[in-house]
Structure formats: structure tokens, C-alpha cells
Amino acid sequence: MVNDLQCGSGRNWKFVDDVTISEGLLRNGEPSVIQSDLTSIATWASNNLIKLNAKKCKEMQICFFRNKPELPHLCVEDQILECVSSHKVLGLIIQDDLKWNEHISMIVTKASKRLHILRVLRRGGIPPHDLITIYYALIRSTLEYCCTVWHCGLPMYLSEQVEKIQKRALRIILPGRSYGEAQEMLQCPRLDISRGELCEKTMKNIALGSRLSSLLTLTSENEHVYNLRNFKQFASFKCRTDRFVDSVLCNLKHLKANKSTGLDAIPAKILKLAAHIIAPSLTYIFNLSLQSGIYVNDWKRARVIPIFKSEDKSKCENYRPISILSIVSKVFEKGVFRQVYTYVNESNLLSKYQSGFSATTLNLISPH
């Protein structure tokens, strides 16, 4: 047991006889002190007649600097620890790039092997309501293990890999039924919806006074009794990566609420408020359109409004037509434009004399 272990200045997580220590270096070139913490752990282990196994101790560096700093190797009793790109901590595989591909691959493989249990039991005549109970106990529990950690950082293609396991399971339990029908009959919601609810429940529990509440940043130090309509208790972190800036979610959140609607009559305010919910589905539709080369016909249709210019109002030629397309199509076009323009600009494919419809600066040279 490691309850009385003190790991120095760094953060540490203790579980039975496992210890994980970490250190954050905010600036490039900042000295590391984690070796001293590791030495103190080795000293504590020696005093308690415990020997650290250097082969099982691993080092992992998470760094997103363009020029990754060279940190000194960590040692335990003069043995250099292996620096790995991923490591399993209490059943959760963490990668140094903070992606979840390896963890999802592990749980999908593990759950796929357990589907054979459902096949054998169904052939044995076990009723569906018992099979769904077994599915929840043996398979779905594996797919949702530690989901509050990795759900929010999961891209759609990995989420679909996890969802396919449930589709296969329900197909075994209720053969001949569609996925939606099986969900309704067995009261089995989608995995992404269930994970979202678990994350929300966990955050509420943390906010109510958990030991992890210190990690949440309050929006304001001033307490008040006013019941504000859009009050946010905790501040959300702002992402400044290019991947987020070019995403559908970002384009939806930056829509103007008073933007005119097209023939679909979907207001921009609704799209903006539901951005977090509809962004994954719209991203899937946009990617499918680009891959298949098929553009949605309804997005080509426009609501035409005549704008009067001048002179006689009874003559059609004195009006200028304004075409108002669907807002969703504009979100799609904006995302494509940003990616294409960035590629063309970074690849120097534009002529230096091209200034129209671009963000370049035109320098005027006056003759002397």
C-alpha cells in the first residue's frame, strides 16, 4: 500500500501499489525536477523493503512544441527508464499525442471477442431480455470503461467503430430487426448519447464538491444571487488549434443569429444553439458529399428576393435579385473554402498579382 507515500512537488496518483507522477513544464528550457521525486520514491520503497522494478516503470513525454526539448532521461537505481509513446494506466491507454486510437482499438477488439458469448446463448434459447442484460454486463461495460475521460476527445470515425459493436450485438439478440427497432424494443440508447450523459453526470458531481473541483476554473470570483439566463459557473477552455478553427462546430458557433434563412426555414439561431449536438452529423454529411462528389439538391435551391434599385417600381429591370441559400450550405462552403484557400496559399499557388477575393494587402507604388 502506498497511502503514506509523499511524491514531492509534482502531481501524483496512487492506487494500491501503483504510482503515477507527473510534472508540467510551462516554458521551453524550464528545468525538470521530476527526477528528484522519482529518487524520493525509490528511497521510500527501499526504507519499506520494497524494490522498484525499473523494467515496469515507464516514462512518457507529452509535448506539442514545434521544437521538442531534450529532457534528461529518468533513472531508477542507475537504470534508465524506457520512454514510451503510449502506456496503460488502470486499464486506460494514454498516448503522448493525447489521441485515443490505441485505447479504442483495444476495447473494440476485447468487446468483439465477447460477442461470441451472445451467439452461443442465443442458440441455446436464451430470451432477448436476458441477452441484453448479459450484453450490458460483459460487453457494454467494456465499451464505456473510463468513457468520461476519452469521450469528449473522440473523433467521429472512432465513435462509429465503438457503435458498430453495439449494432452487431443487437443484431445477434434480435436478428432481422433494424438497429433503430432493436434499440427501441430493448431500451438500449446509442453509446455516444449514453457517454455524453455519463460525462454530464460526472461533471455535476465534481462541481458539487469533489476533490477534483479545484481543477475547474470559475467564471467569476464574485458570488451573487441573481438567476441569470445564460449563467455559466465554470469557464470553458478555448481551443486555438487550426483543426478546431476549420471545424464545422466553430463555423456554427460563429453564425450571426439574425442571418436570413433559405427555403428550409432553419434559422441561424437554432443552428448556433444546437451546434454541439448537430456538428458531428453535419460533419459526416459534408465529408460524405465530398467523397461521393454529390451535392445536396436542396442546398442548391435559393429564396429569391427582389431589391428595388431606382426609378419606376413597376418595371422588373429596376429590381436586383438577391438569392438566399440554406445556412447549412453556407457553413459547408465556408469550411471547404478555408481548407482550400489555406492549401493554395501555403503552397504558393496564387500569383503575386492576384489581389481580388483574397486577404492579401495591395501595395501601391507612387512614382517619384
Specify the pairing of strand 303-308 against strand 319-324.
antiparallel
Write out pLDDT tens, residues 220-265: 544 455 555 555 555 555 555 555 555 788 888 888 888 888 888 8
Beta bridge partners of 83: 59
Supply 269's cell numbers: 439561431
Q: Supply the pTM of this predicted model.
A: 0.61
Write out pLDDT tens, residues 56-111: 888 888 887 777 778 888 888 888 888 888 999 888 999 988 899 999 999 999 99
Identify the three-state secondary structure at position 21. strand
For residue 367, being part of any structural domain is answered with no
Cβ atoms of 44 and 37 closer than 8 Å: no
For residue 159, being part of any structural domain is answered with yes
pLDDT number for residue 367: 46
For residue 291, being part of any structural domain is answered with yes
pLDDT number for residue 3: 66
Count structural domains, the chain.
3
pLDDT number for residue 104: 95
For residue 221, being part of any structural domain is answered with no
Q: What value does the CA radius of gyration of the chain take, rounded to a whole number of Å? A: 28
**Residue 264 and residue 185 in one domain:** no
pLDDT number for residue 363: 45
**Residue 105 and residue 205 in one domain:** yes
For residue 227, being part of any structural domain is answered with no
**Residue 140 and residue 63 in one domain:** no
Beta bridge partners of 145: none
Residues of the chain below pLDDT 70: 1-3, 6-10, 26-30, 210, 214-246, 355-368
Domain ends where: 170, 192, 210?
210
For residue 127, being part of any structural domain is answered with yes
Q: Which residue shows C-alpha cell 441484453?
A: 132
**Residue 59 and residue 117 in one domain:** no
Q: CB neighbours (10 Å) of residue 103?
A: 22
Cβ atoms of 79 and 38 closer than 8 Å: no
For residue 183, being part of any structural domain is answered with yes
Q: Which domain holds residue 47?
A: 2-84
For residue 154, being part of any structural domain is answered with yes
